[in-house]
Structure formats: C-alpha cells, structure tokens
Structure 1
Amino acid sequence: MIRLAANLSMLFNEHAFIDRFGAAADAGFKGVEYLFPYAFAADDLQRALKETQLEQVLFNLPPGDWEAGERGLASLPGREGEFRDSVVEALRYAEALNCPRVHAMAGVLPENADATTQADHHATYIRNLRFAASEAAKVGREILIEPINTRDMPGFFLSRQAQAMAVLEEVGAENLKLQFDLYHCQIMDGDLIRHLERQFSAIGHIQVAGVPERHEPNVGEVHYPAIFERLSALGYTGWIGCEYRPKEETRAGLGWGEAWGLTTH
C-alpha cells in the first residue's frame, strides 16, 4: 500500500507553517514530514498533529548554521559535541511528536577537500552515527542517512547510494536506515528500480520529486507509477515523502496522486 506524506517545508507554502497541517489533511495526506521542527514548540506541533489526525513521519536533526550554508553536522570533525547535542534535541522532539525516525544530515566537505580531509570526515561520520544510533535505540527510534545530489548541494559528503550502503555496513546498527530519495538517486546514479531492489532491506523511508526540476512527480524523466508498482510488489509498507516544489499552487498540482488518495478539490 502506497502511503504519501506531505513535506510541509516545500508543499502548501500558500499557508503559514502551522496551517499547512490542516491543508495537507484536507488534500488527503495521512502523514507529514518537514526539514526542521525547532522553530516551534513541540506542544504546538503536537496539537497540530492531533487536530488534523496526521502522523509525523520524519524530520532532520539540527543542521548547524543553515543560513551560513551548513547542511548537517554528522561528518564535521571538531563539531562532535554540537552533533551530540543535536541528537538529544531531535530525539526530544521525536518523542513528543511520536515520530519514529529522524535524519542525520552528513554535512558539506570543505572546498577542494583532499583525501586526508575526506578520510577525517568519514571517520567522524562513522563515530557520530554510532552514537546517534545508540541513543535513538534507547527510545525506540531510527536514524536515517540520505545521499544528496551534489548539483543541488555541492560538496555534500554523502552523495552516492553505494557510499551510503557501505556506511550502513560499517556502522552496523540495526536502527540505522537508508533514506532513499529517488530524485537525488536519479541525478547521481540512475537505474532507480534496480537500486531499490538491491537496497530494499536497508530502506527506512522514501522520498519523491520530478527530475530534473524537482516539481511534481508526474513532471520530468522519472515514471513514478512503475516505481510505485515495484515498491508494492516488493512489499514496501513505509511512507513516501512528497519532497518537491510545486510548479504553481500546491493543491492544483496534486492530480498525480489521486490514485493514492490525494485530492485537488
């Protein structure tokens, strides 16, 4: 069964953030995700979820200084203390919002990073993920890692599916899972269905968007109905996050999802 979650950082921007929960529910979504909850009190977000009967399915750990271009702390040498604090904060919100999984963004390499620098980032990444997975396991949560394409996010440390799978194996934590974003995978690796099949047992969450413009999933080079059909055949029961930028008003572009419970009226 395909279950769609609205990414409220990208969808329903016609509304104030808290009002996006109601807009998503009215459009037929049953779950929501977004980048970060930390600008809002957990009680306010909890209330919005309860009023709309939506499930919180995902959000990210604090990313560092987002405005300055930081995109996560997990691989950054010298920032381990800040990363550990971010894990504690994220898990506090996860418990309050009954969210089963949080994403630890890997972070960006310095410009022109050499092999030694990359090795330092890798070693830091592994140590930090082991810590995060251990802390999350204590409260029954999962930590996710996501390869992100280097066209949208130049220098991002984790950019390939094979790299992510190698990290999962090296960390060796049962509650460390793959956040499989089909948009990013298509840009970096392609061959989407075969990647899904090979990595299926490691997947904790899936996200979709049209390629290359990151608009609705029915726009661009990826044929999502075939992918959803294969996911159903594989027995995927998790959420599929709709992390795309609507071409126009959000509701007007939801026709692609009518077969899976979304509505445009």
Structure 2
Amino acid sequence: MPRFAANVTMLFTEVPMLARPDLAREAGFDGVEALFPYDHPVKDWQSALAGLPLALLNTHPGDWGAGDRGHAAVPGAEETFRTSFLRALDLAGQLGASRIHVMAGVARGEQAEATYRDNLAWAAAQAPDLQLTIEPLNPDDMPGYFLNDFDQAARIVDDLALPNLGIQFDLWHAARIHGDADAVWARHKARVNHIQIAGFPNRNEPGGGGFDLTGLCTELDATGYDGWVSAEYLPARATVHGLMWLNALKGRARLIGA
C-alpha cells in the first residue's frame, strides 16, 4: 500500500503549524510534508514530528512577497540557489526528509533552461542519497514560473539522466496545465518520484475530475512504488471532517471522480 502524507502547510490549518503533525498522525497519515519549514527551529520541528516521517520539503523560495518562487532557473542567481539548496539539504538531514522539491523560480528562455540544468546537476551531486523532484506549476496559480509543462519536465529529466532526479506529479497542476491528468500520468509515470493529490476542479478533498485514485494506488502497489502519495489540497471544511477519501483509499474502496 502506498504511504500517505499530509501536506501540513495546507491541511489542519485550524491549529498552529507545529501542532499539525500530531493531527495528521491521529487521522491515519503515514507522514507529512511541509512546503517551507524554515520559520521554526529544527528542534521544534523534531519535537512536533516525534518520529513521524517528513516526506518532502521545498527549497526556500526567497522573498515570496516580492515575487520570488525559487532560483534554480534564474540566470545570475546561481549563488542564491546554491545557498538555499544547501540550507534545504541540511534541514532535510536533520528532519529525516527523503525528498527535496527544487523550485525553479520565475524565468524564461534558453538561458534559464541552461541555468536550470546546471543547477539541477550540481544539486543532485550534493545529495546523492536523497531524491530531488521538479514540479510543473500551472501558470494561473504561478504566473511566470519557468517549469510549467510536464512534457518540458520530462525532457529535462531524460536529458540529465540523474538517478536521484524525478518529476513530482501533482494531480491538480497536471489537470490545470494539460486538461487530462490521467493522460499525463500515463505518459510520465516512469519518471515520477513523488505524487500529490487533490480534487478537481476546486482543489478540495481528493476525488473529481475523472481520475481513478483507487486504480492509481493499485497500480503503485503492483509496480513497487516506494515514494509517497501526499494530500495537498484546500479542505472545504475542517480537515478532520473531510478525510473519507483517505479511509476509502486505505480500504481500497473505489474512489473515482465523476
């Protein structure tokens, strides 16, 4: 059975951040992920996790309010990227995170892609024992983000051919970018090393949009997928009152969106 993680940046927001891992554990999640766990001391995170695995964290985006969305593909920001990556790597080591999402940033053009490739190769060499992910983000939610297409991500992953670099398959972004998340999964699943799920079209509880989540979990079982399926969505009500989908998937009840 796949391991399920709760994205505690978006789930259980009824309580403070460091109280959320406990709620995730009580709800039946196997681990958590946190987008930017940089605002609390490491020891506080360690206490909050209390042995609960941290599935993934992102590289620091920079000044979000000023428009920063990471720096891996931003020409001229190589030192900024490397500093932020090493910070993420150190935090991942202290918290036991198994994956780092390398944020590309706002950029475009051939020079941006060359910068991105060089930075990804450098980062992969720094973290040979961790899995690195790159995630296409849809342009409506993330205007100007360099990586905005799953075919683009696949080309970069294939060309670099790094053993610890893969695609982060986010069901929401795949549906928003390409219209048919099922087709995106079929085309790129061999490159995927982290999965995030949400409902479509409203990004609420998983289900909807025609994507068969039960079938996905069965397929992951059959292929020996050793990564995570993470819940990254906007709860329509208090998180604990909307977890029927988790019980359904763990019990393998059929969950497919109409």
Q: Same fold (TM over 0.5)?
A: yes
Do structure 1's residue 125 and structure 2's residue 116 form an aligned pair? yes
Q: State the partner residue of 1:245.
A: 234
Take 2:109 and 2:201, find their aligned partners in 1: how far apart are those partners? 28
**Paired amino acid for 1:46:** Q
1:148-173 per-residue CA deviation (whole Å, 9 max, x = no partner) reads 11121112111111100111122231
Where does residue 256 of structure 2 map in the other structure?
none
Shift of 1:261: 4.4
How many angstroms does 1:87 deviate by? 1.1
1:1-265 to 2 correspondences below 5 Å: 1-50=1-50, 53-109=51-107, 118-137=109-128, 140-261=129-250
Distance 2:238 2:49 in 1: 23
Moved more, 215-224 or 88-97: 215-224
Q: Does the aligned pair in 2 maintain the 1:193–1:230 contact within 8 Å?
A: no
Q: Counterpart amino acid of 2:95?
A: L
Could you say what secondary structure the match of 1:158 adopts? coil
Larger mean CA deviation between 227-236 and 11-20 belongs to: 227-236
Write the distance in 1 (CA, Å) between the matches of 2:190 and 2:48.
33
TM-score (norm 1): 0.89
- Give 5+ residue unaligned stretches, structure 1: 110-116
2:152, 2:25 → 1: CA distance?
36
- Measured in 2, the distance between the counterparts of 1:261 and 1:198 equals 26
SS in 1 for 2:109: helix
User: What is the rounded CA distance, in whole Å, between the counterparts of 1:259 and 1:141 in structure 2?
Assistant: 31
Deviation, 1:218, is 2.4
3-state SS in 1 of match to 2:243: helix
SS in structure 2 of the partner of residue 86 of structure 1: helix
C-alpha distance in 1, partners of 2:191/2:245?
27
Task: Please tell me whether the aligned partners of residues 200 and 207 of structure 2 are also in contact (alpha carbons under 8 angstroms).
Answer: no
Structure 2: give runs of 5+ residues left out of the alignment. Answer: 252-258
> Could you list the per-position Cα deviations for residues 192-238 of structure 1 after superposition, in whole angstroms to 9, with x for gaps in the alignment?
33432432332110000111211111245544333333333433232
Give the superposed CA RMSD. Answer: 1.7
Distance 1:261 1:25 in 2: 14
CA distance in 2 between counterparts of 1:248 and 1:129 reads: 38
What is the TM-score of this pair, normalised by structure 2?
0.91
C-alpha deviation, 1:250, in angstroms: 0.4
Counterpart-to-counterpart distance in 2, 1:23 and 1:214: 21
The one-letter amino acid of 2:72's match is A
Number of aligned residue pairs: 251
Q: Look up the SS of the partner of 1:164 in the other structure.
A: helix
